[in-house]
Amino acid sequence: MTEKNKTLFEFKDIHVRVEEKAVVAGVSLSIKPGETHAIMGPNGSGKSSLSNALMGHPAYEITRGEIYLNGHNLKDMSADERSRAGLFLAFQYPLAIPGVTVANFLRTALQSHRGKEADMSDFRKLLKTEMKALAVDEAFATRYLNDGFSGGEKKRIEILQMAILNPKMAILDETDSGLDIDALKTVSDGINRFHNENNGILLVTHYQRMLNYVKPDFVHVMMNGKIVKSGGPDLALKLEDLGYEWVNEEANHKAGV
């Protein structure tokens, strides 16, 4: 099997429960190196719950299913272990951490990935390069992480973190929310700069607009905790025109409801 045809990230029959409530009901997906997949769906469909569960958020209990990255099972790993294994999640609502500067946070995260004895002499140059590419003022390096940041600034810092850590697989949970058109273009450029033939991207979004800039290879529609339809980029355009109800009606028809 060639490297290009090898599966990079795969999850099988994932079921998720939050506070005794089932929120994801048997979702499976396989992503190869170089691919971008998008999961779209209305509010409450389980998209963000799936994202958090895959990353290992303790509030999102995986009651059934398996998760593999480069053939390694992540199921029993903690969130930080999954991160060091090469999985990344950009949060829909990034948290503020007063008292911790952006630079110190990113340096600590990178050192955790590289190992305690790693040479970090390149960190400052790497940080300046990536901040410039994302149009993030260098003054943000000394500000407390997300403390008083606008929505767009928080999302740029999330993509900055992704660029610094350079994960094998990036899950981007509604990174487009709260962005004006200029910020959307800048953030999308950052995602496209990161993406290459050796890594993968899973975009989670309500809207098609981000997919104008970050082109997906596959689009999946999630409703009621399940993926009910998959297709190519044209599926996102159809959703933009017709909404989600036609997908729900089609799924119900197939199920004989």
Average pLDDT, the chain: 92
Please identify which residue in the block is written with the tokens 């990036």.
Answer: 170
Contact 170, 199 (CB under 8 A): yes
Question: According to the model, what pLDDT value does residue 3 have?
Answer: 56
Identify the CA nearest to 47 among candidates 12, 16, 20.
16
| CA–CA separation, 169 and 7 (whole Å) | 11
Range of the domain at 191: 9-95+170-255
Question: According to the model, what pLDDT value does residue 188 have?
Answer: 94
Would you say residue 119 lies in a domain? no
As given in the structure block, the two tokens for residue 61 are 């209990």
Question: According to the model, what pLDDT value does residue 78 have?
Answer: 95
Would you say residue 43 lies in a domain? yes
Rounded to an integer, the average pLDDT of 157-166 is: 96
Residue-wise DSSP of 139-174? GGGGSEETTT--HHHHHHHHHHHHHHH--SEEEEES
Would you say residue 157 lies in a domain? no
Please report which confidence band the pLDDT of residue 2 belongs to, taking 50, 70 and 90 as the band edges. very low
Would you say residue 104 lies in a domain? no
Please report which confidence band the pLDDT of residue 1 belongs to, taking 50, 70 and 90 as the band edges. very low
Domain count, the chain: 1
Task: Return the CATH number at 205.
Answer: 3.40.50.300
Would you say residue 3 lies in a domain? no
Question: According to the model, what pLDDT value does residue 207 have?
Answer: 82
Longest alpha-carbon distance in the chain: 62
Question: According to the model, what pLDDT value does residue 253 have?
Answer: 63
Please report which confidence band the pLDDT of residue 254 belongs to, taking 50, 70 and 90 as the band edges. low
Please report which confidence band the pLDDT of residue 185 belongs to, taking 50, 70 and 90 as the band edges. very high
Residue 58 has pLDDT above 50, yes or no: yes
